[in-house]
Amino acid sequence: CDNLLEPTPAQQLPADKAITDAGSARAAAIGAYDQVQAYYRLNWPVLGFLPGENVRFNGTLNQFLQIDQNQLSADNVLITEAWTQMYQAVNSANNLIAALPGISDPLLPAAEKNQLLGEVHFLRALVYFDLGRGWGGVPLVLTPTRTKENGQGLRRSTLAQTYDQVLADLTQAETLLPDGATRNRAVKATARALRARLHLYRQQWAPAETYATQVIASSNYRLVTPYRAFSTAPFLSQESVFELSFSNSDANTMWNNWFPSALGGQFNFQPVPAAIAQLNDPAVGGTRSALLASTVIAGANVTYGNLYSRSAQRDDPSYVLRLAEQYLIRAEARARLGKLTDAIADLNAVRARAGLSPTAATTADQLLLAIENERKIEFAFESDRWFDLVRSGRAGEVLGVTDQRRWLFPIPFNDLVADRDLEQNPGY
């Protein structure tokens, strides 16, 4: 009877025996990457570009249409999914952060132990940073969940507290991580690059400049030419500071959302005519016109987004941190700090790579607008435009989303019901 009544799971492990030695610690770190990859595969890029004005939703699913039209409601299933995935990634990171110090395995040298710990601190920082810029202050869970009672009474923190936690994790990560030029796992420079972005979002211009400079100064990174090179197989270009790699067995099918059905896609995300015009304008898009491709369907020319294009290999990465952004972060920080010449140089570095003439901006205000517009084109199909405009307070002016309460995503309705500690963002 005992055999009959106590079968052993063949493909799962008891949670308390999951992280005990070198092998299982490595696997848990990989698992944390996998969960960050999960929300960056589709949901996070979509929440970054679709509320902006470059891309329209051309499919049938209302949850995307709501995002496109800046009409989110709290029952939007994509919002719910992203929120869920992000906290899953946090829990994975928390598990390893809690277990690693207790592991003494001769096969896990101190250096590797530090590296793994640094990596999950970085990943947790990334998730909380994204949660913060998406929803504002969120509950800060820092210990692994064992029972559903864990975290009871934990309310939303403020945005400042959330960003403080991001900073704490990044500081830890920077200490623990090795130097190096790995681009799809975190190294010191990865933490610094995210830190530069964090300071930019917090309008801490001097440290933003400092940290961006540390990355830009590293010989491991450079702007690659032509523009398309960073998104060309085998990827992991020198421009990449952090990208999430995919492979055929761990596939990214983002291309399917961009390609027209004649090419086997669903054409859900369609560049709008204005964006097509800008990308194709030699004075604005330059070589970034390579983000577009076209094909003839029923006698008509159809233009589509081509950033994700590996339909057979399905190994398009998700782009998280690129050197071009570090230049633009520093340009903006310097413009704010009154270092206009340096700022212009940084902006021009990005423009030159795209085959454009130097910027005509001369005043700080002109320059800030030029940087904002440069980001719109440079990261046209990446997760940036919406957060950029919200950060600068210009989402109302540029996108017409005048109700500032709509600048934050709604907390998923279902989670509000399940979690008494949670409070909805105003306006939803």
Partner 1 sequence: GATITSYAQSESGPQVSGTVTDASSHTPLPGVTVMAKGSSAGTTTDANGQFTLPVSAGSALIFSYVGYAKKEVQAGSTPLAIDLAPDLQQLSEVVVTGYSEQNRKTLTSAISSVKGDALKDIPAASPDQLLQGKAPGVQVSANSGVPGGGIFIRIRGSNSVNASNDPLYVVDGVFINNTNLIATGLGNQVSANPLADLNPQDIESIEILKDANATAIYGSRGANGVVLITTKRGKAGDKTSITFNTYHALSKAAKQYNLVTGPELAALENERFLNDGGNPAQLPFRSAAAGGRGLPEEQQTYDRLSDVFRTAQTHSYELSAAGGSAKTQFYIGAGYFSQESIARPSAFNRFSLRVNLDNSVTDKLRIGTSTALARTHRNVSSNDNNPVGVINSALFPRTNLPIYNPDGSYAKYGSFDNHLALINNLNNDAVGTRVISNVYGQYALLKNLTLRSSWSIDFNDMYENNFNNTLILAGQPRGTASSFLSRDITLLNEQTLNYNVNFGENHSLQALVGNTLQQNTFQRTSLAGQQFPGNDLTTIASAATQTGSSSRSQAGLVSFFGKATYSFKERYTADVSVRADASSRFGADNRWGYFPAVGLGWRLGEESFVQDLNIFQELKLRGSIGRTGNQAGISDFASLGLVQGGANYLDLPGTAPLQLANPNLSWESTQQWNVGLDAAVLQNHLVLELNYYDKYTSGLLLNVPVPRKTGFSSVVENFGAVSNKGIEVQLTANWLPKTTAVQWSTSFNVARNVNKIEKLAAPITTGSRDIFRLEEGAPLYSFWLYKQTGVSRENGDAQYEDVNGDGRITVADRKLVGNAWPNYFGGVTNSVNYKGLDFGFTLNFEQGAKIMNMNRFFLVHGGTQSNIGYLSEQLQRWQKPGDVTDIPRLTSVASSNNYGGVVQNLSDRYLEDGSFLRVRTLTLGYSLPKETIASVHLSSLRVYVQAANLFTFTPYSGLDPEVNSQSGVSNTKNFDWATVPQPRTVQVGVTVGL
From 104, 147, 341, 402, residue interacting with partner 1 (rule: CB under 8 A):
147
Quick count: other Cβ atoms within 10 Å of Cβ 314?
Answer: 18
From 249, 301, 341, 402, residue interacting with partner 1 (rule: CB under 8 A):
249
- Residue 158, interface with partner 1 (CB under 8 A)? no
| 250 or 365: CB nearest partner 1 | 250
Per CB under 8 A, which of residues 280..319 are in contact with partner 1?
Answer: 297-299, 311-312, 314
From 168, 181, 229, 263, residue interacting with partner 1 (rule: CB under 8 A):
263
Distance CA 324, CA 241 (A): 10
Distance CA 311, CA 3 (A): 47
DSSP, res 250: B
Ordered alpha helix ranges (H), 298-412 = 323-336, 340-353, 364-378, 385-391, 395-399
| 268 or 392: CB nearest partner 1 | 268
Distance CA 193, CA 187 (A): 10
From 5, 110, 283, 360, residue interacting with partner 1 (rule: CB under 8 A):
5
Distance CA 316, CA 310 (A): 6
- Quick one: which H or E segment has residue 38? helix 22-41
Cα angle 350, 191, 243; round to 5: 60
Q: Considering CB under 8 A, how many residues would be counted as binding partner 1? A: 95
Distance CA 270, CA 272 (A): 6
| 217 or 274: CB nearest partner 1 | 274
Quick count: other Cβ atoms within 10 Å of Cβ 9?
Answer: 7
| 24 or 204: CB nearest partner 1 | 24
Per CB under 8 A, which of residues 67..96 are in contact with partner 1?
Answer: 69-71, 73-75, 77, 83-84, 87-88, 90-92, 94-95
Quickly list DSSP for 137-165: S-----S--SSTTTTTT-----HHHHHHH
- Residue 106, interface with partner 1 (CB under 8 A)? no
Cβ-Cβ contacts under 8 Å for 6 (sequence gap 6 or more): none
From 28, 42, 170, 290, residue interacting with partner 1 (rule: CB under 8 A):
28
| Closest CB 350 distance from partner 1, rounded Å | 29
Distance CA 134, CA 138 (A): 10
| Closest CB 34 distance from partner 1, rounded Å | 4
The residue range among 247-255, 285-293, 346-354, 383-391 that interacts with partner 1, by the rule CB under 8 A, is 247-255
- Residue 414, interface with partner 1 (CB under 8 A)? yes
| Closest CB 320 distance from partner 1, rounded Å | 13
| 243 or 378: CB nearest partner 1 | 243
Q: In angstroms, what is the C-alpha Rg of the chain?
A: 22
Per CB under 8 A, which of residues 319..378 are in contact with partner 1?
Answer: none
| Closest CB 184 distance from partner 1, rounded Å | 6
| 253 or 348: CB nearest partner 1 | 253
- Residue 421, interface with partner 1 (CB under 8 A)? yes
